[in-house]
Structure 1
Amino acid sequence: MATTVEATSREQANAETGPTPWYRDRNRLALAGGIALLLIALLAWFIQASNRRKEEFAQRSLTQARSAAEAGNLPLASSELQKLIQTYEGTDAASEAVITLNQVRMVNGQSELAAVGLRAFLADNPEEKYRAPASGLLGAALENAGRYGEAGEAFTNASKTAGLEYLRARYLVDAGRSYRAAGKPAEATAAYRSVVQNFPKTASFTEAQVRLAELTGGRM
């Protein structure tokens, strides 16, 4: 009986003094945490490097497509731009390619198709730096298609998102022209007056003054 008790006591003592489970070992936990952080850092670096290479390839494709357009080979340029947009979706080059593609379409007399493409691009909420040029080009496409009221709205939106005063003023003058063509003198007057009141130092000021005077009988 005594022997059994002694054996049991020794087993309990050995169990109490045995190796510490890994999840209670602070050194091991610290090592595991360090390895996890290293893996996360490596993954982040890999993603950044991959995105950088993707952007570089996309920019090369964009340059080639633009060169084709400048050389007058619009069908090739259009094909290359569409391929770029699909292959490198999410890159800056792909966003620039959308705008360039729709410029090519307008040169080809496909203003309605350009308007559809630009509306879809804007509906996807692109980065702010692309909203003004896309909206301005949409206005031009709609104006070419004879949809003057919609063109005026697009130019107005372009002015709201443009970052430079001279662009904001230019888009408002474009909006005023489209609204006049649409038979909307009130909207045209508001666009021209906004230029006169808010952007007097821009090159568009004089034109806005003249157009506003035409609409209001000389009243500013």
Structure 2
Amino acid sequence: MENAKERLNNFLKFFNDNKLWIAIGFAVAVAAGVPSYLYQQKGADDFNEVWSRIYRMNYEVATAQQGGNEKEALEGAISEYSFLKDNLSTTGATPWLLSELGNAQYKAKKYDDAILTYREFINRFGNHPLAPVIRQSLGYVLEEKEQFNEAVEQFEKIAKDPEATYLKAQVRLDTGRCYEKLGQLNSAVAAYKEIINTFPESSSAKMAEYRLEDLE
């Protein structure tokens, strides 16, 4: 029993430490597939201004992480992204600006602000290629706030989205993890088995098998 509890804690710690980076990784993959969408307004001044400042803030945050000053850099990034959102017109870069703002708020543990930003993205750009990733990030923030039912709701919406096939294995794993936290173990087992049956070669299936060893 003690060993099973330790394995669960290790499983949860892995995702607590890495889930934002999982979402960001998917965002990067999506970015590679939609260059024409993003650059259709490249000639617009506001578009270029937003992108140049996003790149600069990303560089500054990455540099600060190496120097141990991430907190201050994140505060600066949040301030910069908020200013751009409020003062520049909507362009093809705006969805990415909201994504960067929400992620910075998330990493700074400003969870309520991140929830508002992610919801704004979904309301304004629900058909954008990044929308499923943003919804997943929203689910993660809700999970951080222990609003597990609300998190499951977000993950389930992604699982039903025909445009989000690249996320389906991961969000079923996310769903199972939240069900475990809710104590709904039968639902967690069902979610894990679905991953194994549907995506047997995925890394998520391996993690699901790991959890089933303790639950069954």
SS of equivalent to 1:204: helix
**2:61 counterpart letter in structure 1:** A
2:63 counterpart of 1:67: no
Change (3 A) 1:81 1:183: same
Looking at structure 1, the residues matched to 42 and 74 of structure 2 have their Cα atoms a distance apart, in angstroms, of 31
What residue identity is the alignment partner of 2:203?
A
After superposition, give the CA deviation of every residue in 1:13-65 in whole Å (9 maximum; x if it has no partner): xxxxxxxxxxxxxxxxxxxxxxxxxxxxxxxxxxx778644322221121122
Q: Deviations over 1:130-162 (max 9, x none)?
A: 112111111111111111121222223334446
Q: Which residue does 1:179 correspond to in 2?
A: 179
**Alignment partner, residue 108 of structure 1:** 108
Q: Which has the higher contact order (CA 8 A, sep 6+)?
A: 2
Is the 2:41–2:47 contact (alpha carbons within 8 Å) kept by the matching residues of 1?
no
- Look up the match of 1:16: none
Counterpart-to-counterpart distance in 2, 1:120 and 1:128: 13
Structure-2 separation of matches of 1:202 and 1:146: 27
Q: Which amino acid in structure 1 is aligned with residue 157 of structure 2?
A: N
Matched, 1:56 2:48: yes
Aligned residues of 1:170 and 1:204 also touching (Cα < 8 A): yes
Given the superposition, is the C-alpha separation of residues 81 and 209 from structure 1 closer, same or farther in structure 2, using an over 3 Å criterion?
same
Indicate the percent of aligned positions where both proteins have the same amino acid.
24
Deviates more, 1:135-144 or 1:85-94: 85-94
Q: Quote the Cα distance in structure 2 between the aligned partners of 1:130 and 1:49.
A: 18
Unaligned runs of 5+ in 1: 1-47
Q: 1:58 to 1:207 in 2, by over 3 A?
A: same
Preserved contact between residue 50 and residue 97 of structure 2 (Cα < 8 Å) = no
> What is the deviation of 1:189?
2.9
Partner residue, 2:84: 84
Unaligned segments of structure 2, at least 5 residues: 1-39, 65-69
SS in 1 for 2:129: helix
Q: 1:177 to 1:49 in 2, by over 3 A?
A: closer
Relative distance call for 1:212 and 1:157 in structure 2 (3 A) is: farther
Amino acid at match of 2:185: P
Change in Cα spacing, 1:127 to 1:59, as seen in structure 2 (3 Å) is: farther
TM-score, length basis structure 2: 0.67
The range that moved more, 205-214 or 173-182, is: 205-214
Other-structure match for 1:200: 200
1:1-150 alignment runs, 5 A limit: 52-70=44-62, 71=64, 72=70, 73-150=73-150
Q: 1:184 to 1:112 in 2, by over 3 A?
A: farther
8 Å CA contact 1:69, 1:77 repeated in 2: yes
Mapped to 1, the partners of 2:89 and 2:157 lie a distance apart of: 25
Structure of higher CA gyration radius: 1
TM-score (norm 1): 0.66
Aligned counterparts of 2:125 and 2:189: Cα–Cα separation in 1:
30
